[in-house]
Structure 1
Amino acid sequence: MKIIIIEDESLVAEDLASSLKNCSDEIEIVALLGSVKEAIVYFRTNPQPDLIFSDIQLGDGLSFEIIKTVPLNVPVIFCTAFNEYALDAFKSNGIEYILKPFSAAELKVALAKFHSMQQLMSGQIAEQYQKAMEIISNLKQPVSTSILVKYRDRLLPFSLDKIALFYVEAETTVMLAHNGKSYTLTESLEDMEKRTNRFFFRMNRQVLVNRNAIADVTDYFPRKLKINLSLPFHKDIFVSREKRSKVLAWLGN
């Protein structure tokens, strides 16, 4: 089975490729593509694979734009961190997905659906992906306004604008408030990413930052970004070159 992975974070792409190979000896990873533009160029000059695993939001646009530009007759399994409202929309349109961060068990289930997807989606792929693109583009997601933090024997409500960032240290999630106080959380950083709103961005695997905590951003060799905060923090925050365009677009919006 020939598989192509479309993912703009190289570490995530490599991890997915390794996990897929561990699922079956018959799997061959044909290519790792990192952007809408790169994928369009690739599919115009290369044969289509048996299956595609793709992130939805790439640095230069939605991956649905690839299918819109280059007709594909290949099932696509989307790797996504979208919330349950988007996923309900996916289900109603017959779109398959796995949630980030994915597990080996989820990958095996996704691969098991591969043959049924071929039959189900034959001749309808472009139409279904066009519907999905419209859903994601127009989706109105509910915005959280606060979270509860357990502190000793109390639960403290924090409005999101009072939170500077969330980060992982020694495998524990920590919340840092604008007043400089930090609180240990029981939830994972992935959980907090889902619960926060569009003013927060996952800069890397360790840090989720509020826009209002950013003083400025500087270029960092080679083609990386360094996030400079408006409050003291004991770690430097770097953004990979693969995620650079996403961060700049988020800041620009």
Structure 2
Amino acid sequence: MKIIIIEDEILVAEDLVSNLKQIKPDIEIVSVLSSVKEAVDYFSVNPQPDLIFSDIQLGDGLSFDIAKAIAIEVPVIFCTAFDEYALEAFRANGIEYILKPFSIESLEKALVKFQNMQKVMAGSIALKYEAAMATLEAKNKTSSSTIMIRYRDRLLPFTLDKIAFFCLENEITYMHAYSGKTYAMTESLEELEYKTGSTFFRMNRQFLVSRKAIIDATDYFPRKLKINLSFPFDKDIIVSREKRSKLLNWLTEN
């Protein structure tokens, strides 16, 4: 079985390769691609594999954009940490997925699903992606303007203009308010990314930052960007070169 992985987090991609090899040693990982552009360029000149594992949110866009440029003719299984609303979009359109962080068991089930898939399933895959993408974009545009924070035995409402950024530390998500207070949260950064919409940007695996909190961005070797906030913060927020152009476009538009 030939597989291509589309994932912009190197450690996640390596973990996926290792787990797949552990499940089926004869699996051939043909290539690991890290962006929409790289995937489009690759599929433009190379044959498609038997199966694709793909993250959804890549540094230069959503992986659905690949299907807009290239006719994908093989099944795709998405590795995602999306919230329940987004998963409903996949279920409604017959798109297979596994949840991050994935396990050996979930990958085994995904491979069994693939073996039971018929080739015809991929025939209308572009239409399935388009329908799911439209659902996700609609959700993004109508994102909530209030985030509920559980503090002890209370639920505290925070409007987005009171929140500077969300941060992942030791696998726990924290909300940092402009007031200087910090609160632990149960939601993942992926869930918050879709709740906050276009007013926040996913800088990297660790930070989701409000446009209002950013003064500017400066060059950071090599070809990366460093985010400068409007208040003191003792950690650097670095944006990868793959996300550089997307961030600059977002800063311009917002």
TM-score (normalizing by structure 2): 0.83
- Report % sequence identity: 65
Alignment partners' CA distance in 2, 1:137 and 1:181:
31
Q: 1:105 to 1:202 in 2, by over 3 A?
A: farther
Q: 1:133 to 1:142 in 2, by over 3 A?
A: closer
Shift of 1:135: 4.4
Query: Which residue number in structure 2 is paired with residue 26 of structure 1?
Result: 26
**Number of positions where the alignment pairs a residue of Structure 1 with one of Structure 2:** 253
Q: Check whether the contact 1:37–1:60 (CA below 8 A) recurs between aligned residues.
A: yes
Shift of 1:203: 1.8
Unmatched 5+ residue regions in structure 2? none
Q: Check whether the contact 2:81–2:191 (CA below 8 A) recurs between aligned residues.
A: no
Q: Check whether the contact 1:56–1:80 (CA below 8 A) recurs between aligned residues.
A: yes
Question: Could you list the per-position Cα deviations for residues 25-53 of structure 1 after superposition, in whole angstroms to 9, with x for gaps in the alignment?
Answer: 12221101123332223223222211001
Shift of 1:224: 1.1
Alignment partners' CA distance in 1, 2:13 and 2:160:
31
Alignment partners' CA distance in 1, 2:66 and 2:156:
45
SS in 1 for 2:174: strand
Q: Check whether the contact 1:165–1:207 (CA below 8 A) recurs between aligned residues.
A: yes
Query: Which residue number in structure 1 is paired with residue 232 of structure 2?
Result: 232
SS in 1 for 2:32: strand
Q: Check whether the contact 2:36–2:66 (CA below 8 A) recurs between aligned residues.
A: yes
Paired AA for residue 11 in structure 2: L
Q: 1:85 to 1:157 in 2, by over 3 A?
A: closer
Paired AA for residue 92 in structure 1: A
Higher helix share: 2
Range moving further from structure 2, 17-26 or 119-128: 119-128
Alignment partners' CA distance in 2, 1:175 and 1:45:
44
Question: Could you list the per-position Cα deviations for residues 118-137 of structure 1 after superposition, in whole angstroms to 9, with x for gaps in the alignment?
Answer: 34515433443444455445
Q: 1:155 to 1:85 in 2, by over 3 A?
A: closer
**C-alpha RMSD of matched pairs (Å):** 2.8
SS in 1 for 2:165: strand
Range moving further from structure 2, 129-138 or 73-82: 129-138
Query: Which residue number in structure 2 is paired with residue 14 of structure 1?
Result: 14
Q: 1:77 to 1:212 in 2, by over 3 A?
A: same
Query: Which residue number in structure 2 is paired with residue 169 of structure 1?
Result: 169
Q: Check whether the contact 2:143–2:194 (CA below 8 A) recurs between aligned residues.
A: no
Matches within 5 A, 1:137-156: 137=137, 142-152=142-152, 154-156=154-156
Alignment partners' CA distance in 2, 1:9 and 1:211:
23
Unmatched 5+ residue regions in structure 1? none
Matches within 5 A, 1:125-144: 125-137=125-137, 142-144=142-144
Q: 1:70 to 1:154 in 2, by over 3 A?
A: closer
Alignment partners' CA distance in 2, 1:226 and 1:188:
23
Shift of 1:218: 0.9
Query: Which residue number in structure 1 is paired with residue 181 of structure 2?
Result: 181
Q: Check whether the contact 2:8–2:58 (CA below 8 A) recurs between aligned residues.
A: yes
Query: Which residue number in structure 2 is paired with residue 207 of structure 1?
Result: 207
Paired AA for residue 2 in structure 1: K
Matches within 5 A, 1:190-205: 190-205=190-205
Alignment partners' CA distance in 1, 2:100 and 2:245:
20
SS in 2 for 1:110: helix
TM-score (normalizing by structure 1): 0.84
Query: Which residue number in structure 2 is paired with residue 219 of structure 1?
Result: 219
Range moving further from structure 2, 241-250 or 205-214: 241-250
